[in-house]
Amino acid sequence: MSVIQGAPRGVIPGHLLKGQKALVTGANSGIGKATAIGLGRAGADVVVNYVAGRGEAEQVVEEISGFGVRAMAYEADVSQEDQVVAMIERMVQEFGTIDILVANAGLQRDAPFTEMTTAQWQKVLDVNLTGQFLCAREATKEFLRRGVVPEVSHAAGKIICMSSVHQLIPWAGHVNYAASKGGVQMMMETLAQELAPHRIRVNAIAPGAIRTPINRSAWDTPDAEKDLLQLIPYRRVGDPEDIAHAVVGLASDLMDYVVGTTLYVDGGMTLFPGFATGG
């Protein structure tokens, strides 16, 4: 069977998010980078947050500027309250407001359970969960202040939490990461319930195995990739663009009635592929 192996290209409609202001955290590499570029391609002005890697962030800004929209790199550690507050304040000063938050910044600090240090546990919870909480809270204050502007969007704001298939699939050797993503799911659903009456839509995307630096060892040799593909019924490793496309769609008014949902973008990884031939 001859099949295309990568994410579809050239499928983002250029005016879908015209006039909207988006913040993507952790946007200097991987999923965040592709997402920031995708939002820019769809017509949004974009703040490219990063914590390290200014050069890469500036390159993302340059690429986004090529779409005729505004982009700005901003350094902030999402786990630090004062830095998050300052980032949203600056964005509102520069761009006027925020319409879309993609709470994407995340990391792994893997270790077998009895070897996992408290520092490894805490770091992952701080960035992956507290970071999303802080960014969501500060963005929500601005959504509530501004309210709905019908010419821009049917919603007063959209929050997209970057979760993982590991909000559902337990993951030995990664208890800090899996716990953080389980937390993201319940945080997202609770915020969705609390904020929906204000026309703020909170949703999550749960990527599967996406070809990024975070999981390089899982795909960068033919043997590793072969093992990984056993876990993916669609039989291709995801590209960051696969996630960017989902974010653009979910952030747009095409999905205005989608509230409190996790969209799994995983090539079927959560379908218990082991049972295709067993059970």
Nearer to ligand BGC, 109 or 146 (CB): 109
Interaction between residue 180 and ligand BGC (CB under 6 A): no
**Applying CB under 6 A, which of residues 39, 209, 250, 251 lies at the interface with ligand BGC?**
209
Dist CA 136 CA 9 (whole Å): 30
**Residue 52 main-chain phi, psi, to 5 deg:** -145, 150
Interaction between residue 215 and ligand BGC (CB under 6 A): yes
Give me the least distance between CB of 65 and ligand BGC, in Å please: 29
Amino acid at 256: D
What is the β-pairing status of strands 71-75 and 262-265? unpaired
Interaction between residue 125 and ligand BGC (CB under 6 A): no
Residue 211: CB atoms within 10 A of its CB come to 22
74 is catalytic: no
Of 177, 234, 257, 264, which is the active-site residue? 177
Nearer to ligand BGC, 144 or 214 (CB): 214
Residue 4: CB atoms within 10 A of its CB come to 8
Give me the least distance between CB of 229 and ligand BGC, in Å please: 12
Residue 117 · residue 60 · CB < 8 Å: no
Nearer to ligand BGC, 138 or 266 (CB): 266
Give me the least distance between CB of 175 and ligand BGC, in Å please: 13
Interacting residues of 244 by C-beta distance below 8 A, sequence separation 6+? 12, 31, 34, 35, 37, 38, 39
Using the CB atoms, write b or e for 131-162: b if 16+ within 10 Å: bbbbbbebbbebbeebeeeeebbebbbbbbbb
Question: And the tokens for 135?
Answer: 């960014």
**Applying CB under 6 A, which of residues 46, 159, 165, 192 lies at the interface with ligand BGC?**
165
**Applying CB under 6 A, which of residues 214, 224, 229, 271 lies at the interface with ligand BGC?**
214
x/- letters, 57..96, toward ligand BGC (CB under 6 A): ----------------------------------------
Q: Which residues bind ligand BGC (CB under 6 A)?
A: 108, 164-166, 208-209, 214-215, 218
